[in-house]
Chains A and B, each alone.
Chain A
């Protein structure tokens, strides 16, 4: 198995990404379902709507609130995560902050946009899948945004894959793109999200130690992954839009 990772991918290959828009029917303003490998996330967006409480409204823009639920059956073992769980709150804040800055909130003054994310299955890259699902759900809800926010993960293995897997000019191993759960728990990894699939980074999050020289390479691989994720998401949005337009024409 020269040159392959534990799930049979090469260092620069993404897992299968499957996305779907408008999954929840009429019960939410926008909804989306994203699968990245075995990580599966469902997102629903309500709004822009009148804020639930007066204090939450801002006169100069929309407020973005986010709730993340981990289904008890999402991991290998059954774990119930409460609303005050640290991991849940961290994820909530990350998604909320990202989208508060990307949504053109000044166009929607005194309103509230509520994002709720359901993690149905975890297999590495939960934050990335949450961000991608939220982007699609917001598009489905028709909320004005600067551009797609696409997220991807990258990890730095200690030992290279061997087998002449590209870029072998020095002895540093290539970073892994889109790490799965096994890789995530084994090697240092980071999540990066870009706006519009270009070089504009909106989120970087890393919770492990890594040598400073390797950070640049990991970021570069992550960003290139984001661009690929954007293509896949854009394709689905266009396909969905075309299908809807064709449907109304009849």
Chain B
């Protein structure tokens, strides 16, 4: 289901035309690759290993808390391989604006292959799935960092709390918050030897705790960016109305590959968009060239944004 918008068909058609112009005009007069301002905070929850809060004017607020628990490696009865992807558990909870608000949580993010289901837990599909997918995808290497010692690992619970007035918040909101929380996650330092399979022991001193992602090493935690195209124009960070008027939408997951702001692509998913200004069933599909333009726009333009978020995280971390 495409995201609901308050716009009427003539308004959508007008918006479509203005976005398809050369040069395009966005409703809020942004440049095509310009992002909207966000408020970002981290490390403010004392009971969490990592936490963050992102506030966006349109899509509301997102709070992420990450807790780590020590767990023994277990192989299931039939599989001899340790199921490492179970080491991370992502859950997304949507709390609408009040009791009568749209808190149903249907199809969070509207991302293809993830829509329809309620998106609360991984089992239901939805936002939790693609957040985790981005984390586990190659290059991120997070699972290796979760190994404590022989036979023991950290189990990471990533709880995402969405306070949003719309059921289709920008994927940017969720992924930026998760990114920032992961970036500011610290784990207690191991004091027992690595190669013994006894219960591991940790230091009580948080001043020598170990960051999950060592600062200024690469790759960094992943981040997903929504991108849409109207006509031949590509837009980053689309608003709800723009998504409704778009012809095609993608969510591109990236990680920062070096300190210059170059990015690696970790994943690309389709994003549900509106009717593209045309009638129902008139969607034409898009050319390969445009698809490539959309992805490369993300890679080129987003580096600075991800870098900026990382820098602001570092300034706010409890152990700066």
Interface residues, chain A, CB within 8 Å of chain B?
Answer: 23-28, 38, 40, 42, 44-47, 49, 51-53, 65-67, 69, 71-76, 78, 80, 112, 114-116, 118, 120-123
Q: Which of A44, A114, A123 counts the most B-chain CB atoms under 10 A from its CB?
A: A44
**For residue A37, which residue of chain B has the nearest CB?**
B46
Q: Mark B154-171, 1 if CB is under 8 A from A, else 0.
A: 000101010111000000
Interface stretch of the complex, out of B91-99, B133-141, B216-224: B91-99
Cβ of B55 under 8 Å from chain A: yes
Which chain B residues (70-106) contact chain A, with CB distance < 8 Å?
91, 93, 95-101
**Does A24 lie within 8 Å of B91, measured CB to CB?**
no
Instruction: Please measure, in the bound complex, the distance between the C-alpha atom of A40 and the C-alpha atom of B44, giving whole angstroms.
Output: 9
Known: A38-B46, A73-B47. A44 touches B91 (CB 8 A): no
Top 8 nearest A-B pairs (CB, nearest first) are A114-B98, A52-B100, A73-B65, A46-B98, A27-B60, A65-B99, A72-B159, A27-B165
Instruction: Please measure, in the bound complex, the distance between the C-alpha atom of A123 and the C-alpha atom of B48, giving whole angstroms.
Output: 13
**Does A118 lie within 8 Å of B163, measured CB to CB?**
yes
* 5 other A-B residue contacts (CB within 8 Å) besides A52-B100, A116-B97: A26-B57, A67-B99, A73-B48, A73-B66, A80-B91
Instruction: Please measure, in the bound complex, the distance between the C-alpha atom of A24 and the C-alpha atom of B56, giving whole angstroms.
Output: 9
Residues of chain B with a CB closer than 8 A to A69's CB: 93, 95, 161
Q: Which of A75, A112, A114, A118 contacts B47 (CB 8 A)?
A: A75
Q: Which of B46, B61, B91 contacts A27 (CB 8 A)?
A: B61
Known: A44-B97, A73-B157, A114-B97. A24 touches B61 (CB 8 A): yes
A–B pairs, 26, beta carbons within 8 Å: A23-B61, A26-B57, A28-B97, A46-B100, A52-B99, A52-B100, A53-B100, A65-B100, A66-B99, A67-B95, A72-B65, A72-B93, A73-B51, A73-B67, A73-B159, A74-B47, A78-B159, A114-B97, A114-B100, A116-B96, A116-B98, A118-B161, A120-B45, A120-B63, A121-B46, A121-B47
